[in-house]
Structure 1
């Protein structure tokens, strides 16, 4: 072992300590009081209460009597309600955790929110990869995206693999939890449609005939939620049928 290597190994603990202190210092700079998350939590609580009062008037029979366009709109509202419930739980968890474990300091880079304002999505890719909840992200990436990316040269296969895996998982969830209301393939179809939409976006993004700056953000927003509007009934049907 050379003298340089000996010195390097001897000084390694001090470098690690310095890096840890630097990281802690940077974290400290971006930290806020745990109570800073409560105002947004209160807003979501109010929305949650309002939607709960609204949705309790919809019986299963009434919901399935709605015209198709109203049923799809109801589906989007239910999707938003699902997000709101998860937002409230997530924010309360962050509040109490940072209060008890971090001395009342909250750093958004260390305590991630489940959602990233999905209503601002300007594409399906943006919606599913960055803005909708990322609970299973690491699982999908590890089990589907990375293995397929190493085997396939095109970028469509890995994305398709993630949606296939997600579709299978949701089919299993409905089969086990809501079996009487399970329609085989319904959940899988929903995620395959999302995959088709994402792949279409990638194809259009690659096309030289359509400049990237041609599709404005507002058009992207209408495309995203228009697509979800027409496809979300496939996802929500078993949940609505199983509504108490």
Structure 2
């Protein structure tokens, strides 16, 4: 089969849902076994890793299945690529580390988006002495997770039913001509993504609680995957804490730490502000790589011809400009501390302006993010569609609502 011609035509091979589910992670499993083998020489591991990394990144470009598996497969494989690029090549070159990682460290990497793993304390606190490992008391049952999971499923069902009325053409039209409707779409889409990611988070939490911790867990060790980003008062808070942290450990390992280290080494002899510059460069590198990951998701699912002609670069622009927005915030915050009293900086007016800034910034640049995913129609393929016929029928019988919904009902 001519795979190059297949990709150039924007086509993929459709697999049975079970075949896809059990095969898309095979390269990552091979990379895990390879990096965790202590007796193989590093150069051998690096050589053997190359075809596995290539297979890992080509899989979502070549094969397709259920839309939700497509949604999971491409970012997962991209994240795997980054994590193992660091372990096999970047860390050995930049930090002279061995080409090795234990299976436990990889396990912690995977689950750290949800769960705290106790480490020896660096400093003494009221709870632990220096060097001691804190013990968490299990105070919750797995049954506590189920109502939260069901609520998020119901939320995705209802909001997804509303958003499914919008075609890709509707979204482009309202973004230019109906700002009120477009803002409603923006708000609902943000809530949908929050609930959707929390479905994933609570499902993983439930799995861990049942099959690893025996049915109970410590509430202090877990976090929501998405913590209501629309309520944030800063872009930094959105991306560093409230947005999902699925790829946090990967982003920190690569590109954040190598970019910061290399920038420090490059600028250490030329400026006394090299630490701040390196931090800014590392922060923007994370947003840039995140943009590339979303570019990859779009090209996998809309095909190269359409991506090249209409969508290329949008995701990178969206995420990179958010990185620049975070840096701008930090500069403004540092300046305001010098010129404004604390009472003003923490006043109600300033807090309201901060919320307006976050929501307005996201709304202004949303179309760069949304066009690719709208073309892919991913928001219309969620598995929870029980209320869709009822909600669409309600819209059909209430003409007064028609200006605020799409045309696909």
Compute the TM-score of the two structures, normalised by the length of structure 1: 0.80
For residues 86-108 of structure 1, what are the alpha-carbon distances to aligned partners after superposition, in whole Å with 9 as ceiling and x for unaligned? 21232133224312332220223
- Give, in whole Å, the separation in 2 of the partners of 1:105 and 1:181: 48
> For 1:162, what is the secondary structure of its paired residue?
helix
Q: CA RMSD in A?
A: 2.5
* Corresponding residue of 1:171: 295
Task: Indicate conservation of the 8 Å contact 2:163/2:185, yes or no.
Answer: no
Task: Indicate conservation of the 8 Å contact 2:259/2:285, yes or no.
Answer: yes
Structure 1 residues 57 and 94: CA distance shift in structure 2, 3 A: same
User: Once the 2 structures are TM-superposed, how far is the Cα of residue 147 of structure 1 from its aligned partner?
Assistant: 1.9
1:97 is matched with which residue: 208, 215, 221?
Answer: 208
- Give, in whole Å, the separation in 1 of the partners of 2:188 and 2:306: 21
> For 2:136, what is the secondary structure of its paired residue?
helix
* Corresponding residue of 1:144: 255
Task: Indicate conservation of the 8 Å contact 2:288/2:319, yes or no.
Answer: yes
1:60 is matched with which residue: 164, 168, 183?
Answer: 168
> For 1:27, what is the secondary structure of its paired residue?
coil
> For 2:208, what is the secondary structure of its paired residue?
helix
- Give, in whole Å, the separation in 2 of the partners of 1:91 and 1:166: 23
* Corresponding residue of 1:33: 141
* Corresponding residue of 2:324: 196
Compute the TM-score of the two structures, normalised by the length of structure 2: 0.50
Unaligned segments of structure 2, at least 5 residues: 1-119, 121-128, 265-274, 381-409
> For 1:116, what is the secondary structure of its paired residue?
coil
User: Once the 2 structures are TM-superposed, how far is the Cα of residue 185 of structure 1 from its aligned partner?
Assistant: 0.9
* Corresponding residue of 1:224: 358
> For 1:198, what is the secondary structure of its paired residue?
helix
Unaligned segments of structure 1, at least 5 residues: 1-15
- Give, in whole Å, the separation in 2 of the partners of 1:191 and 1:73: 22
* Corresponding residue of 1:214: 345
- Give, in whole Å, the separation in 2 of the partners of 1:149 and 1:81: 34
Q: Is 1:241–2:369 an aligned residue pair?
A: no
Count of residue pairs the alignment pairs up: 223
User: Once the 2 structures are TM-superposed, how far is the Cα of residue 181 of structure 1 from its aligned partner?
Assistant: 4.4
- Give, in whole Å, the separation in 2 of the partners of 1:50 and 1:93: 23
- Give, in whole Å, the separation in 2 of the partners of 1:81 and 1:192: 23
